[in-house]
Structure formats: structure tokens, C-alpha cells
Amino acid sequence: MNISANVAYEEFKNRFKLFIGKNPSLITNTLSNIFSMRMIGNKTHGDLAEIGISEFINQFMYDFKSSHVGKNLFRSKTCEEDILVESIIGTQKGVRIPISLKAYGNGPLQLSTDKEQIFFRYLQNYGKCIEKQNVIKNILTSEAFSALFAINIMPLIYDEVHARCNIMVFDFSKAFQSVTRILFIDKNEYFDEKSGNIVAIKGRKHPIYLFVDRQGQYVCEVRYGGASANALQRGVWTHTKNALPYFDSLTNGWIDYVSNETLVKLFSIALNASKEGHEKANEILLKDIERLKKANGVQTI
């Protein structure tokens, strides 16, 4: 991703946050429908979030258009994008912005899968306790870690217990500027934030490199699980609760959502209906979206 795309993504995030601030009912409706898909399956909402958010942009944000990349295209790409957003007016007109959408529960959040285990192996060159600020700066501005800035991650976070959700974007720049220590934590070890020491504890199966700020608080981590690791045991991770100061909420905080059982029933019927029936249903749904636009005073062109 080039500099123009970086600038365009910042503009898109600002516009998205501003739009939601003015029209909270629209994003609440869309996110409620997306997270209702968890009634179908634990992972269903993640896939449907990709097309749901892409269509949200197309329907309501007149200065952008979006397309869903799709799984087949995704497999042939080196980047992790799920949708492509393009500004159609303004200074960034024509710039295409790749965005990776992630739907996670409130807690651990994977920022990069790191399939080649680049980050962990790179850190091994610097030992187990990295505290010199010039060394940390060199690490975080290295070619290895610059790859993180090429991925525009837009996480949809849900708290199922309290029926609330949040779109939280991790601020890599702010986070990396705050890192003062990078520590190797081996399996069966744990970093105690109160004492600032590494202590023995049973449970951790794979080592990590832990990034902490000047207050000794958690920022993010690089996991390494070797050949036996699954996706949850490798890559770059952070935590939506422990690293809260390094997130920007595009929904301006938590919003309550309501499960939509009618939508689940609609999917059930649609899967057994014909293409002709789907076309008629689409016409009705598009009329309803126009009603929502009018009710919220959304500009259309």
C-alpha cells in the first residue's frame, strides 16, 4: 500500500466516524443484523460482516464506494484485505483502500496472521530483554514491522454478555511510539504488570515477545507457535481490554445491539426460495433502505 492509500484510509476513518456520530441508528441497525448471524453459527457473522459493512458504505456514504474482495481473490493475494474502498470525491478521489475486517469478541485480537513467522524470528536477533530506546525504534521502523502499517485493520468487536458492540481500530503509530520494553516470555511464564517481572505460571504452550509501555502496561505481543501452532497461537496480537488506550472507536464507544430473529428466518426462507423471489425481495429491501436514508437525512447522489 502506498502513501496515498495511507492518507486515504485516515480520511475514510475520519469520515466513517463522523457519519456514524451523526447517524448512530444506521450503524446500530447494521451491526445488530451482523451479530444476529451468531444465532446461525459462531463464525457466520464474520463472513457476513464483510459484505454487510461493504454495502453499508455503498448505501449510506455517498463519497465512497466499496467492493467485497471475496475468498477466491483473497487466497491469491499477499495482503489480508476483505474489502476495497475507493474515494469517489475529494482530494483522494480514485485511491483504492484495502481494508481487513475482523469480527472478534472483547479481548484478544489478532492484528496479523504472520504465516511466515517473520516478526518473532526477527525479534530473536535482539535477545530476550530489549530496553534500549534506539534499538526499539530501529525494530519498530524496520522493514519487517513496516508490513503492519500496510494492513488497514477494522475490527468489529462484540460483547455478547452485555449485548453491545464497538468498531475499534488499533493505532499502530501511537502504540509503537509508547513501547519502552520488548520482553521474551517463554512457555509457562507470565509478565506481572504490578511488579514488572516475569514469573512462572502453568498454561502457556508457546513463547511470545511482549511489548509494554513506560507504565509497564500491555501494548501488544508477537506469538510464535512453531510448526504445531494454529492460527490462534501465532502472529501479532493485542487486547481490546488491556491495550484500550491504543484503540480509536469509530462508533464513538460501545453501542447496544438487539438480535434480529426475523433476519435469521429470512435467511432460512431465502435459501429455499428462487432467484425470482430474491429479486422481488431485493426491491422491497432497497425501498426500505431509501426510507432509512430519508428518515436520517442521508445525502444521496
Annotated domain spans of the chain: 3-270
pTM of the complete model? 0.89
Sequential DSSP letters for 183-199: EEE-TTEEEETTTTEEE
The pLDDT of 28-42, averaged and rounded, is 94
pLDDT for the residue numbered 75:
47
pLDDT digits (tens, 9 = 90+) for 229-261: 676 778 899 999 999 999 999 999 999 999 999
Give the orientation angle of helix 275-296 with respect to helix 44-60, to 10 degrees: 60
Per-state percent for the chain, helix, strand, coil, to nearest 5: 45, 25, 30
**Residue 134 — pLDDT band, cuts 50, 70, 90?**
very high
User: Which pLDDT score, from 0 to 100, does residue 225 have?
Assistant: 67
Q: Which residues of 148-180 are buried (b: 16+ CB within 10 A; e: fewer)?
A: bebbbbbbbbbbeeeebbbbbbbebeebbebbe
Residue bearing the bigger pLDDT, 275 or 82: 275
CA–CA distance, 33 with 48 (Å, rounded to integer) = 10
Q: What is the pLDDT of residue 300?
A: 60
For residue 222, the Cα-to-chain-centroid distance in whole angstroms is 17
Q: How far apart are CA 211 and CA 55, in angstroms?
A: 36
